[in-house]
């Protein structure tokens, strides 16, 4: 499919909306009361620190809702105002935050249900309003909804669109897009739908494996078995790794994306010589500012003397998980929770250890004076963070 021509035509359609509906002011008031917090503002104003009783909170200097997410959520509220009685659907969780998604359900905004792991679009009728989330939707989904005559409200973050444009550039010159991301993540699923040839690498180890193959050859069957769910149809590593371009899931660790880009650059230079590098390698900076800022703030915070770290965000939120990884890398006792409800009676905490299932930790808050580092992912409202802090203060004061 000519994805570029399709998206250009879609954007001109009267059924396609991506700029809101002129209700921004009313919605801002609702959003403020639903998601903002005076406590968090107080901490921000106080150099990101607040002490009460035995507890000192050190908040990361960049955390929580990014503007892309805020914009997407505001657009959903605006959409409900614009279409007060029409069925409204979202192709996926608008963002990875359970409380926000519940708010949307309460506004009678439906999520496309899954049947046997696949989205069941049969619930959508002609004329229904369908919202595309902040991390986008695949071009096939957009085409389906357009053909069906739905009104499409596109909240895709411009940073994600920037990655798609990069993939289009790769395609134009017949480069294979090497996408640093998770092949099951909705954003990466959307990104790869714009690519012609692609290979998705999860981390540096996978990138090194591929680069070794490029430089030294290897076991083609083994490579294909390893990446069979993470490459384009008909992918041939002997043919399709001669020209590569780098793209990324915007919420991956910035340093890792950079390292992966540099590794491919080095390998292509070694294989083809510096004078031919441009013919074999392309890279554009598509790391989103918000992800970068949150990671940089976390790097500073984990340098401090902290007794423990609380990382707040959806369990399937990629950028939140990365924040927790950073605390763990510094050997800081770190708990990933998604809401205040995870703090259980009796000094118990239900939390998600990295890459493991939920577990309950007894006596999670130490006795005496403690310094607690706190951060939250890009899809977490301040109010959720404030609720957690209030609960910690209350527990320690009891
Ligand atoms: S994390 Fe970045 S790419 Fe994702 S929605 Fe926020 S601003 Fe956009």
Ligand 1 midpoint to CA 8 (Å): 22
Residues 145 and 237 in one domain: no
DSSP assignment of 19-65 equals S--S-HHHHHHHHHHHH--HHHHHHHHTTTEEEETTEEEEE-SS-S-
- Residue 393 lies inside a defined structural domain of this protein: yes
Mean predicted confidence (pLDDT) in 247-272: 93
Confidence of residue 282 (pLDDT cuts 50, 70, 90): very high
DSSP assignment of 60-110 equals -SS-S--HHHHHHHHHHHHHHHHSSSS-EEESS-SSS-HHHHHHHHHTTEE
**342, 351 in Cβ contact below 8 A?**
yes
Mean predicted confidence (pLDDT) in 264-270: 97
The Cα 195–Cα 230 span in angstroms is 12
Q: Using CA atoms in the order 267, 273, 276, 281, what is the torsion angle rounded to 10 degrees?
A: 10
Strand partners, 177: 198, 245
Ligand 1 midpoint to CA 160 (Å): 7
Domain span at residue 219 reads 159-287
Ligand 1 pocket residue status of 62, Cβ below 6 Å:
no
Hey, what are 69's tokens? 């997410």
Going by alpha carbons, the residue nearest to atom 6 of ligand 1 is: 68
pLDDT of residue 219: 97
- Which residue did the predictor score with more confidence, 308 or 99? 308
Residues 187 and 95 in one domain: no
Out of 62, 76, 134, 380, mutate this one to test ligand 1's pocket (max ligand atoms within 8 Å of CB): namely: 134
Ligand 1 midpoint to CA 155 (Å): 11
pLDDT above 90 covers what percent of the chain? 85
Ligand 1 pocket residue status of 94, Cβ below 6 Å:
no
Ligand 1 pocket residue status of 66, Cβ below 6 Å:
yes
For residue 347, give Cα distances in angstroms to 58, 198, 314, 350. Answer: 21, 48, 22, 10
Residues 264 and 182 in one domain: yes
- Residue 259 lies inside a defined structural domain of this protein: yes
pLDDT of residue 306: 97
- Residue 6 lies inside a defined structural domain of this protein: no
- Residue 9 lies inside a defined structural domain of this protein: no
Strand partners, 198: 177
Which position among 93, 187, 256, 325 bears the catalytic label? Answer: 187
The residues, ordered by sequence, that sit 6+ positions from 233 with a Cβ below 8 Å of its Cβ are: none
Ligand 1 midpoint to CA 393 (Å): 31
Mean predicted confidence (pLDDT) in 326-352: 96
Residues 47 and 119 in one domain: no
DSSP assignment of 233-277 equals TT--HHHHTSSEEEEE-TTS-HHHHHHHHHHHHHHHHHHH-GGGH
- Residue 18 lies inside a defined structural domain of this protein: no
Last residue of a domain, which of 106, 125, 157? 157
Confidence (pTM)? 0.88
DSSP label at 392?
H
For the sheet with 308-312, list strands across it.
49-52, 55-59, 370-376, 308-312, 334-337
241: CATH: 3.40.1010.20
Question: Does 285 have pLDDT greater than 80?
Answer: no
pLDDT in tens, 183-211: 999 999 999 999 999 999 999 999 999 99
Residues 213 and 310 in one domain: no
Mean predicted confidence (pLDDT) in 303-311: 97
Residues 294 and 337 in one domain: yes
- Residue 2 lies inside a defined structural domain of this protein: no
pLDDT in tens, 254-266: 889 999 999 999 9
Mean predicted confidence (pLDDT) in 144-167: 96
pLDDT of residue 10: 95
**Catalytic annotation present for 93:** no
Residues 54 and 146 in one domain: no
Confidence of residue 284 (pLDDT cuts 50, 70, 90): confident
Last residue of a domain, which of 124, 157, 190? 157
- Residue 21 lies inside a defined structural domain of this protein: no
Number of domains observed in the structure of the chain: 3
Last residue of a domain, which of 121, 138, 157? 157
- Which residue did the predictor score with more confidence, 125 or 69? 125
The Cα 305–Cα 308 span in angstroms is 9
Question: Does 40 have pLDDT greater than 80?
Answer: yes
The Cα 77–Cα 67 span in angstroms is 15
100: CATH: 3.40.50.11270
- Residue 108 lies inside a defined structural domain of this protein: yes
The Cα 394–Cα 262 span in angstroms is 48
Atom nearest to 95 CA in ligand 1:
5
The Cα 151–Cα 164 span in angstroms is 22
């Amino acid at each position: 499919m000519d994805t570029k021509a399709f998206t250009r035509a879609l954007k001109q359609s009267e059924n396609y909306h991506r700029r809101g509906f002129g209700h921004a002011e009313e919605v801002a008031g609702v959003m403020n009361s639903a998601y903002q917090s005076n406590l968090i503002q107080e901490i921000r104003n106080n150099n990101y620190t607040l002490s009460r009783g035995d507890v000192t909170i050190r908040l990361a200097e960049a955390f929580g809702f990014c503007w892309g997410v805020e914009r997407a959520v505001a657009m959903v509220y605006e959409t409900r105002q614009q279409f007060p009685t029409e069925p409204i659907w979202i192709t996926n969780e608008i963002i990875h935050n359970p409380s926000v998604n519940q708010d949307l359900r309460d506004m009678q905004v439906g999520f496309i249900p899954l049947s046997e792991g696949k989205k069941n679009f049969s619930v959508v009728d002609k004329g229904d309003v369908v919202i595309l989330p902040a991390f986008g939707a695949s071009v096939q989904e957009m085409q389906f909804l357009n053909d069906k005559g739905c009104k499409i409200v596109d909240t895709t973050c411009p940073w994600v669109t920037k990655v798609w444009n990069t993939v289009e550039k790769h395609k134009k010159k017949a480069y294979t897009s090497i996408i640093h991301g998770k092949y099951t993540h909705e954003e990466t699923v959307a990104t790869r739908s714009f690519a012609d040839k692609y290979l998705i690498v999860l981390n540096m180890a996978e990138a090194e494996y591929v680069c070794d193959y490029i430089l030294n050859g290897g076991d083609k069957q083994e490579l294909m078995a390893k990446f069979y769910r993470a490459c384009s149809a008909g992918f041939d590593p002997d043919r399709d790794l001669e020209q590569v371009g780098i793209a990324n899931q915007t919420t991956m660790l910035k340093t890792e994306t950079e390292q992966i880009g540099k590794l491919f650059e080095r390998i292509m230079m070694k294989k083809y010589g510096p004078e031919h590098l441009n013919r074999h390698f392309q890279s554009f900076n598509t790391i989103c500012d918000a992800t970068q800022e949150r990671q940089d703030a976390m790097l500073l915070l984990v340098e401090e003397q902290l007794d423990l770290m609380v990382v707040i965000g959806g369990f399937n939120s990629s950028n939140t998980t990365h924040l927790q990884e950073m605390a763990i890398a510094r050997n800081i006792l770190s708990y990933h929770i998604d809401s205040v409800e995870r703090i259980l009676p009796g000094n118990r905490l239900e939390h998600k250890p990295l890459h493991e299932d939920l577990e309950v930790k007894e006596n999670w808050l130490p006795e005496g004076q403690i310094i607690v580092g706190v951060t939250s992912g890009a899809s977490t409202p301040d109010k959720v963070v404030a609720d957690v802090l209030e609960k910690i203060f209350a527990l320690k004061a009891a």
